[in-house]
Amino acid sequence: METKPPLPPFTAESAAQKVRMAEDAWNSRDPDRVVQVYTEDSRWRNRAEFPVGRQQIKEFLQRKWGRELDYRLIKELWAFTDHRIAVRFAYEWHDDTGHWFRSYGNENWEFNEYGLMQRRFASINDLPIKDGERLFHWPLGRRPDDHAGLTELGL
């Protein structure tokens, strides 16, 4: 069985590491990379979509990043237990007409003993913003280590 360290049971340090690794993967906007951290039968709730399994998750991500352009994400650890992690996040993106949004949300993650996510429940709200209100300005890809996180940005 493949493993995706850090493995449960989580500590504050390993949970924060897992969150940053997830943020980095999502900021790659590469569905093939992102789906590798989920179990083959992973179950999601994301707004009104309920993908099950890596293939449906991959198709979901392809649609998502096809319409959420110039996507930049910050995740922050909220809480954790032995095999669960709660995350809050915000991301900025624009649609194909150039309108910008900041999407806020919370995720609850559940992992198997191999460190693969078997359940992801997300609640997300979108806020239209003006270009001048954007806070995430790093080049596309991984957020630089010296870039402020959600708490530091007042989000």
- The CB density around residue 40, as the number of other CB atoms within 10 Å, is 11
Question: What are the Cα distances from residue 84, in Å, to 14, 61, 119, 120, 127?
Answer: 12, 22, 9, 10, 28
Instruction: Extract the residue ranges of the chain whose pLDDT is less than 50.
Output: none
The pLDDT of residue 36 is 97
Q: How many residues does the chain have?
A: 155
Q: Which CATH number fits domain 12-135+149-153: 3.20.20.70, 3.40.30.10, 3.10.450.50, 3.40.50.300?
A: 3.10.450.50
Residue 100 C-alpha from the chain's centroid: 19
Measured distance CA(15)–CA(68) in Å, rounded: 27
DSSP 8-state secondary structure symbol assigned to residue 9: S
In the block, residue with structure tokens 């003006």: 130
pTM of the model: 0.96
- To the nearest 10°, report the CA torsion of 139, 144, 29, 113: 180
Q: Are 120 and 60 in contact (CB under 8 A)?
A: no
